[in-house]
Amino acid sequence: MTEILRANNLEFEVLGRKILSIQEMALEKGQVYGIMGPNGAGKSTLLKLLSFLDSPTSGNLFFHEEKVSAKTITLEQRRKIAVALQQSLLLDTTVFQNIAVGLKIRKLPRKEIKEKVNEWLKKFNITHLADKHVYKLSGGEAQRVNLARAMILEPELLCLDEPFSALDFPTKIRLIDDFKSILASAGTTVLFVSHDLLEVKSLTDELFILMDGKLMQQGPTEHIIENPNECTRSFINEWKSYLTI
Ligand SMILES: Nc1ncnc2c1ncn2[C@@H]1O[C@H](COP(=O)(O)OP(=O)(O)OP(=O)(O)O)[C@@H](O)[C@H]1O
């Protein structure tokens, strides 16, 4: 396995209050990782640090074993990391143009952009929406565009913050199923923040449980769900009780 990202002694403070304290965390290439924990546990903060959108108060991050920070990251390294958030923040134009925008910035030839956009429209089952204005999309359709826009850039690491949380249950399940097969063929490493055990169980291989800014348990998702430790047991078991209703 190839390690692509490592965090050592990562701490993040706001106004003297320690919000995160992560001793060690490593991501291997091609794995889908979940970060789950209660409200306010620090999940979004951790995602921002690991995607180099924000800098830790102290500690180090290594991308492909090279020490990198939000301040020193090169354009080449930055382009290997994509981020998609809950609010899809789509541009005021068509689906096609939204998915094409990253490739245009990278100045790919028009013909190649068209071919790639068509390919990703097809993968996300939204070819019929290509000419539709994004403001006329449903929540599920908009999230497909959001994910296609990130995946077309073929990132090594895709960081997702609650991308499915606003979707109704059947829409969410359909999108997660499609997304899972897309990820399996792309080999992308994914870091996925969620507060929903069903999403995490459906999508991730490995899971980090974050509570009060600290990693309380990490390991294969199925193993953690079946064997929560004394710190995570009540949190996981509460979620499991909802899933078996
Ligand atoms: N810029 C900031 N200024 C002040 N407090 C902050 C800031 N960013 C985060 N926090 C605090 O840090 C803690 C962790 O926030 P964060 O959003 O990372 O948690 P989370 O696990 O993603 O929460 P949720 O599940 O509710 O989205 C919270 O108590 C939050 O209020």
Q: How confident is the prediction along the chain (245 residues), in pLDDT tens digits per residue?
A: 799 999 999 999 999 899 999 999 999 999 999 999 999 999 999 999 999 999 999 999 999 999 999 889 999 999 999 998 776 678 889 999 999 999 999 999 999 999 999 999 999 999 999 999 999 999 889 999 999 999 999 999 999 999 888 888 888 899 999 999 999 888 899 999 998 999 999 999 999 999 999 999 999 999 999 999 999 999 999 888 877 65
* Cβ(56) – ligand 1 distance below 6 Å: no
* Cβ(21) – ligand 1 distance below 6 Å: no
Task: Kindly give the number of the ligand 1 atom that is closest to the alpha carbon of 37.
Answer: 21
Residue 117 domain-assigned?
no
- How many other C-beta atoms are found inside a 10 Å radius of the C-beta of residue 129? 21
**pLDDT score for 87:** 67
Domain count, the chain: 1
**pLDDT score for 85:** 76
**pLDDT score for 244:** 63
* Cβ(19) – ligand 1 distance below 6 Å: yes
* Cβ(144) – ligand 1 distance below 6 Å: no
Residue 74, domain extent: 3-86+156-243
Q: Is 67 exposed, middle or buried (0-12, 13-18, 19+ CB in 10 A)?
A: exposed
Instruction: Supply the CATH number for residue 62's domain.
Output: 3.40.50.300
Distance 77 CA to ligand 1 centre (A): 27
Distance 7 CA to ligand 1 centre (A): 19
Residue 141 domain-assigned?
no
Residue 121 domain-assigned?
no
**pLDDT score for 187:** 87
Distance 20 CA to ligand 1 centre (A): 10
**pLDDT score for 165:** 84
Q: Is 79 exposed, middle or buried (0-12, 13-18, 19+ CB in 10 A)?
A: middle
Residue 150 domain-assigned?
no
Residue 147 domain-assigned?
no
Distance 16 CA to ligand 1 centre (A): 14
Task: Kindly give the number of the ligand 1 atom that is closest to the alpha carbon of 195.
Answer: 25
**pLDDT score for 88:** 63
Q: What is the pTM of this model?
A: 0.92
Residue 97 domain-assigned?
no
Residue 134 domain-assigned?
no
Residue 40 domain-assigned?
yes
